[in-house]
Amino acid sequence: MTLRPVVTTKIYLTVPDRIKKISGDKIHNYKSEMIMKINRRDFIRKTSLTAAGAGLFTILPSSVWGAMVAPSDQINVGLIGCRGHGFSILRHHLSNEGVHCVALCDVDENVLNSRAATVKEINGDEPRLFGDYRRMLELDEMDAVIIGTPDHWHCLNFVHACEAGKDIYVEKPLGKTIAECAIMVKAANQYNNVVQVGQQQRSNTGFLETVEIVKAGDIGKLRKIEIWANFNYGLGANFTENSEVPDGVDYNFWLGPAPERPFNQARFHGSWRHFWDYGGGLFSDWGVHLLDMALWPDDLVGGPDKVMSYAANTSERSGMRETFDTMSVIYPKKDYVIQYDMTAGIEVGRWDQPYGVAYIGDNGTIVVNRHGYSLQPEYDNSNNRQRAETRSVSTGGDAHGPHVKNFLDCIISRNTPRCTPEMGYAAALHAHIPNIAGRVGETHLEWDEENMRFTNSEAANELVTPVYRAPWKLPQ
Ligand SMILES: NC(=O)c1ccc[n+]([C@@H]2O[C@H](COP(=O)([O-])OP(=O)(O)OC[C@H]3O[C@@H](n4cnc5c(N)ncnc54)[C@H](O)[C@@H]3O)[C@@H](O)[C@H]2O)c1
């Protein structure tokens, strides 16, 4: 497979006399004829910044800009994997002015056609449609790509998008395995793309404020971070027999690097996440979101040095799954502990919430989830006063909108988005390692980050790097 290097565009910028008259001295700094050889992302950034300073876009009629180059205040995005969350993220992109959808890619034609119709309804865009994302990545006019495929595809989609010079919004978990996550971080650094990982709590005001409070020491010395996530969907889809591949689905492409299996609806759209070939169950699905929040106060990077964990399927309720429905994990950190508890199939949880994070300090505990936070202070009997200030704040629910907006801003500014591949890597490894422990029957694993291996289990080392089904090859 050959993919193009970073797309370059030769742009001849000629400012016609007519425009000179209109704009007067506002354009006197600009040579009447400039020849620039830059890539389209640089062009967006440079022209947007210059335009912001000089008011250029208000001076030059769009017809003139349009004749010279693709509209420079426009960000063109494409989406790989259109059915579920990827499309919701695309909608958030399109709710920003100047963002257009130029391409959609899916291996299920039914999904592809129906999403194309919806995009047209949203803003009139008529994206080009693809079944092979590599062809889509060749589009010069596409600045950025959203990766909304199942986890087993993230690494290939991502590395190829890096090579094609696209900025990337990649859904979590960063990759399905440890080795894939490491390769993705390396690719992002090598190609210098703007990358946002879809761990959107990084843009949620409730979590932002909570982490500031913890960092400021307002709850006193941090002692424990408790995380829990209990959801019904974690038991998997209802039992179903293998069946024919539905019309319009390229099942071989859907499987991609994963092992060949007969088609089964429960392993397919949406519920693939409960099978090791494609995902990591409820634990990696929700784990990365909440573990990311637990790693944030100390900006911890890399995988956990050690984990102690229990992982099993303990529910008698039905549902097709290989991944675990019940997990309790302890991550010892320098002078506090992170503890994750998960019971799939149950919606009731600690502090009356099905999921959340509790930061427990000497002076108080903050409990937070996507809808807000509350600080519950400890009481100091000797001084007859609270050790911290009581606070309770509601926030606006999910933060996909601001997270996407942050990505779009970074496409223009070339700044680093809020959730970097390194953050995605750290959160993913904190989820993948306890899953690996459960799969190889260990209750304790020690991870050597430098050498990328477990020091106490050869069986666990076997699961660090995936075996790709030919002709797909793990990117180097
Ligand atoms: N950030 C969040 O809050 C959040 C929420 C839900 C899902 N997600 C993530 O989003 C991703 C997608 O999950 P989902 O629930 O939307 O899955 P889904 O099964 O609903 O959708 C995946 C789509 O990808 C398509 N696809 C599969 N392989 C493809 C390929 N090689 N090329 C093009 N299209 C391909 C499928 O046909 C399907 O349309 C996952 O990584 C998941 O973890 C994130």
Q: Which atom of ligand 1 is nearest to the CA of 272?
A: 19
pLDDT at 372: 95
CA distances from 408 to 8, 93, 280, 336, 373 (A): 21, 8, 29, 36, 28
Separation of CA 324 and ligand 1 centre (Å): 20
As a CATH number, domain 202-400+421-461 is: 3.30.360.10
pLDDT at 467: 97
Q: Which ligand 1 atom is the nearest neighbour of the CA of 108?
A: 37
Q: Where are the domains of the chain?
A: 9-68, 202-400+421-461
Q: Is the pLDDT reported for residue 52 higher than 60?
A: no
What is the tens place of the pLDDT at every residue in 138-192? 999 999 999 999 999 999 999 999 999 999 999 999 999 999 999 999 999 999 9
Question: What is the C-alpha separation between 150 and 330, in angstroms, rounded?
Answer: 27
- Atom 25 (ligand 1): residue with closest C-alpha? 81
| Percentages (nearest 5) of helix, strand, coil residues in the chain | 40, 20, 40
* DSSP secondary structure letter of residue 249: B
Residue 38 pLDDT > 60: no
Kindly report the pTM of this predicted structure. Answer: 0.88
Digit-coded pLDDT (tens) for 296-352: 999 999 999 999 999 999 999 989 999 999 999 999 999 999 999 999 999 999 999
Average pLDDT over residues 239-266: 98
Using a pLDDT cut of 90, give the percent of the chain over it: 83
Beta pairing, strands 364-369 & 444-448: unpaired
Model confidence pLDDT, tens digit, residues 192-243 = 999 999 999 999 999 999 999 999 999 999 999 999 999 999 999 999 999 9
Question: Residue 429: what pLDDT?
Answer: 98
- Binned at pLDDT 50, 70 and 90, residue 398 comes out as confident
Site residues for ligand 1, CB cut-off 6 Å: 80-86, 105-108, 111, 133, 148-151, 153, 171-172, 198, 200, 253-254, 256, 269-270, 272, 285
Residue 397: is its pLDDT beyond 50?
Answer: yes
Contacts with 19 (C-beta within 8 Å, 6 or more apart), sequence order: 27, 59, 60, 64
Of 34-38, 241-245, 429-433, which range is least confident? 34-38
| pLDDT(259) > 60 | yes
Rounded to the nearest angstrom, the distance between the alpha carbon of 168 and the centre of ligand 1 is: 15
Query: Is 36's pLDDT higher than 60?
Result: no
pLDDT of residue 331: 98
Backbone φ and ψ of 270, nearest 5°: 80, -50
Higher local confidence (pLDDT), 23 or 177 = 177
pLDDT tens-digit readout, 90-115: 999 999 999 999 999 999 999 999 99
156 CA: nearest ligand 1 atom: 31
CB 178, CB 453: distance < 8 Å? no
Q: How confident is the model at residue 42 (pLDDT cuts 50, 70, 90)?
A: low
Under 8 Å CB-to-CB from 405, ≥6 apart: which residues?
96, 203
Give the integer Cα–Cα distance in Å for 69 and 7.
14
- pLDDT tier for residue 363 given thresholds of 50, 70 and 90: very high
Average pLDDT of span 13-36 = 27
